[in-house]
Structure 1
Amino acid sequence: MYIPKYYKVTNINEIWDFVKENSFGTIVTTRKGKPIATHLPLQLVQEGDTYFITGHIAYGNPQWRTFETSEDVLVMFQGPHAYISSSWYKQENVPTWNYQAVHVYGTASILNEEELKQDLTSLLQKYEKHRENPVLWDRLSPQLLEQELKGIVGFKIRVQEIQAANKLSQNRHEEDYQNIVNKLYEEKDINSQQMAQLMESKFKKEN
């Protein structure tokens, strides 16, 4: 991913927090020279000093068969994004787009059944524990679980390289920056609203 110096993120804790908060990612591999991708809920797992991205994919999805033969697997995570009109700048310029993104490269391997069960247990705990009637692993019938397990393949990707970008108008002076935030709040688009909140939050933390 091309990242100009203004927008490059190097703080690993900030990057992993972003991955956890935006964990519906895109996995990209190649099959016979052609890129293929799947959009999936993913988890970040730490084992000692090593990080893994884990998840599961439908057995009928041919992409899982490329995991162990692909030299590199790319996982992409994206946060809020929004169009930025240059009419919001004090001086003449061209429009642009603000966004957050993380690219993770690594090698993939297939989970055994026990590892897959543990990963699914953790996934359900993450998204269900706060609900009134949580659907947790130990509350589902063994028959249903056995049936569902036959239809999926678990995997983990050992993280080897991370690229992270926050393009949030950091190169604009304060007056332009504040005006961008205000104008984004006026937009009806939900992504613009989220970008305004993000930029406002970042500015308060850094000033």
Structure 2
Amino acid sequence: MYVPAHFNESRKDVLHTLIAQNPFGSLITNGKSGLDANHIPLELAADEGDLGVLHGHVARSNPLWQDVANGDEVLVIFRAGDAYISPTWYPSKHEAHKQVPTWNYIVVHAHGRITIRDDEKYVRGVVARLTRTHEATQAVPWKMGDAPKEYIDTMLKAIVGLQIDITRLTGKSKLGQNKEARDIQGAAEALKALDNRIGDAMLECAAQKQG
């Protein structure tokens, strides 16, 4: 990924937070059948390894888990928001007319080594933790024990676990840092009016630039 210095985000804690808040990743593999992409929720264990470990699962019918070998290098892309930026949102455009459209976004690339975990205990733990995390906002959270044991056992046999040991983290936070603070703020306020969450990040960026 091309990352100009002013868009670079290298702080591990910030990147971990972005992953945890946006856990639906695009897993890119290059196995026996060539390049492939799968889109799956992943759990980040930030305290495992030097850079963290990702845990997830795929359907047993998905050829991914047989197409790759343990130790293969993979890439997971986590998107934390994006937005089209109109030049009309920049105050400076209305003075000098020297602005063009762009697209702002926040992404994290997690490079790592994959391990296939085809064992019931691992898969059960992954499903339980993912469920606990994503059901937390429900008034009455669903839990695995709400379903018949035989049914859950059958469902668990239909999936295969994935473990990805992160070897490199790259973050890009393109929020207009190369623009004037007033232009960043103008675009941020326009995005806020559209209820786009990138607007909040851009407001923080504008405040930092204003000092």
Q: Same fold (TM over 0.5)?
A: yes
Flag the 1:129–1:82 CA change in 2: closer, same or farther, 3 A.
Answer: closer
Letter paired with 1:132: A
Partner of 2:82: 81
Moved more, 44-53 or 22-31: 44-53
State the 1:53 CA deviation. Answer: 0.8
Is the Cα contact below 8 Å between 1:184 and 1:196 reproduced in 2?
Answer: yes
Partner of 1:122: 129
Equivalences for 1:70-149 in 2 at 5 Å? 71-89=72-90, 90=92, 91=96, 92-111=98-117, 112-149=119-156
Partner of 1:184: 191
Query: Which of 178, 190, 195 pairs up with 2:198?
Result: 195
Query: Which of 136, 161, 168 pairs up with 1:154?
Result: 161
Partner of 2:57: 56
Is the counterpart of residue 171 in structure 1 residue 178 in structure 2? yes
Partner of 2:13: 13
Give me the whole-angstrom Cα distance separating, in 1, the residues matched to 2:81 and 2:8: 16
Can you list the C-alpha shifts for 1:97-133, whole angstroms capped at 9, x where unaligned? 1000001111111222211111111111101234233
Length-normalised TM-score, structure 2:
0.87
Give me the whole-angstrom Cα distance separating, in 1, the residues matched to 2:112 and 2:178: 31
Q: SS where residue 47 of structure 1 aligns?
A: coil
Q: SS where residue 123 of structure 2 aligns?
A: helix
Percent identity reads 30
Q: SS where residue 191 of structure 2 aligns?
A: helix
Give me the whole-angstrom Cα distance separating, in 2, the residues matched to 1:175 and 1:66: 50
Q: SS where residue 119 of structure 1 aligns?
A: helix
Give me the whole-angstrom Cα distance separating, in 2, the residues matched to 1:86 and 1:76: 28
Flag the 1:134–1:184 CA change in 2: closer, same or farther, 3 A.
Answer: closer
Give me the whole-angstrom Cα distance separating, in 1, the residues matched to 2:55 and 2:152: 19
Letter paired with 1:38: N
- Return 5+ residue gaps in structure 2 as ranges: none
Cα RMSD (Å): 2.0
Partner of 2:3: 3
State the 1:33 CA deviation. Answer: 5.9
Give me the whole-angstrom Cα distance separating, in 1, the residues matched to 2:207 and 2:88: 24
Give me the whole-angstrom Cα distance separating, in 2, the residues matched to 1:5 and 1:142: 52
Is the Cα contact below 8 Å between 1:29 and 1:73 reproduced in 2?
Answer: yes
State the 1:175 CA deviation. Answer: 1.5
State the 1:205 CA deviation. Answer: 6.3
Letter paired with 1:29: T
Is the counterpart of residue 47 in structure 1 residue 52 in structure 2? no
Can you list the C-alpha shifts for 1:44-97, whole angstroms capped at 9, x where unaligned? 013254511110101111112233257311100001111112233314032211
Letter paired with 1:54: H
Give me the whole-angstrom Cα distance separating, in 1, the residues matched to 2:6 and 2:33: 34
